[in-house]
Amino acid sequence: MCGRTYKTYTNEELFYRYLNIKPIDLPELNPNYNMAPTQETMVLRVVDGEREFELMRWGLVPFWAKDVKSADRYSMINAKAEEITEKRSFKAAFEKRRCIIPMSGFFEWKKEGTARKRPFCIRLKDEPIMSLAGIWEHWKSKEGTQDVISYAIITTDANEAMKEIHSRIPVILNRNDEALWLDSENANSTELKKLLKPCPSDWMDFYSVSTMVNSPKNNRPEVLQPA
DNA sequence: CCAGACGTTGTT
DNA sequence: GTCTGG
DNA sequence: CCAGACGTTGTT
DNA sequence: GTCTGG
């Protein structure tokens, strides 16, 4: 699973990485050292053939949901890659609304016997930003008072390196597959599903951190320090 | 047909 | 134990 | 994901 | 909106 992430990149790094442009006059991005579900972050998608960033809420709220709270009860912060084409809540989004969630890394908790779970910080060895595969939805209340764009992170079986910590990991896309994944005109489900594989073990790097990260209230650089 | 669910992870 | 909030 | 709340009545 | 269960 993937239930906590972090981002320390700047706006300039983000836009240069995905749009190949140096942004001018953009508001400065706040780092989030401890991002929990329900919080918002910039997500990359393609609209009318153009890449764009949109601020989205973590936790998918399908457009047919009665309200945001009822959707939250179903814990749609992750979507299982293996079943994404069969699930009612994900199928349409997988076909038409794929996205990339740029993150610096994420946290996983390893169970160690009966002892307290130990948190780990996971990142890429050679890249400051990882492209997490996701799907998004646009939900509007009938009264038109609420308008929520939300996303879920796709998970799959852990690769060998990550199995040491946890059985599931988020899908981290290969840079060469990003355009294919984002293309909203692409209707080749078989081809798309092939992208939802665990990334190679040797891309990843991890180390244990203190339990300070357990509480989402601790949005501080110290949560990234090795324990 | 209509009503009601629509999810993940991990653990038993 | 289970649900909600972050 | 983990942390923290989990309730009612009546009064401010 | 769409699928599953009865």
A168 touches strand D (CB under 7 A): no
Q: Token pair for residue A227?
A: 């324990």
Closest nucleotide over all strands to A75 (CA to C1') = B7
Query: Mean of the per-residue pLDDT values for chain A?
Result: 96
d(CA A33, CA A121): 11
Residue nearest to nucleotide B7 (CA to C1'): A74
Residue nearest to nucleotide E2 (CA to C1'): A88
Residue A72 makes CB contacts below 8 A (sequence gap 6+) with A38, A59, A61
Q: What is the pLDDT of residue A209?
A: 98
Q: Which amino acid is at A156?
A: T
Q: What is the pLDDT of residue A194?
A: 97
d(CA A28, CA A24): 11
d(CA A206, CA A171): 16
pLDDT grade, residue A126 (50/70/90)? very high
Q: Token pair for residue A117?
A: 């779970």
d(CA A48, CA A62): 21
DSSP bridge partners of A133:
A100
CB atoms within 10 A of CB A114: 5
Domain ranges in chain A are: 5-224
A76 touches strand B (CB under 7 A): yes
Q: What is the pLDDT of residues A23-62, one digit of tens each?
A: 777 777 789 999 999 999 999 999 999 999 999 999 999 9
Q: What is the CATH number of domain A5-224?
A: 3.90.1680.10
pLDDT grade, residue A145 (50/70/90)? confident
d(CA A120, CA A150): 26
**Active site residue: A108, A121, A137, A199, which one?**
A108
In the residue annotation, A99 being an active-site residue is answered as no
Residue nearest to nucleotide B10 (CA to C1'): A167
Q: What is the pLDDT of residues A69-95, one digit of tens each?
A: 999 999 999 999 999 999 999 999 999
Q: Token pair for residue A104?
A: 């610096």
pLDDT grade, residue A143 (50/70/90)? confident
Placement of tokens 């929520």 in the chain = A148
Q: Give the DSSP H/E element, type plus range, for residue A91.
A: helix A91-96
Closest nucleotide over all strands to A88 (CA to C1') = B6
The torsion angle over the Cα atoms of residues A180, A185, A188 and A194, rounded to 10 degrees, is 30
pTM of the model: 0.96
Q: Across residues A141-164, what is the average pLDDT?
A: 95
Q: Tell me which of A26 and A212 has the higher pLDDT.
A: A212
A148 touches strand B (CB under 7 A): no
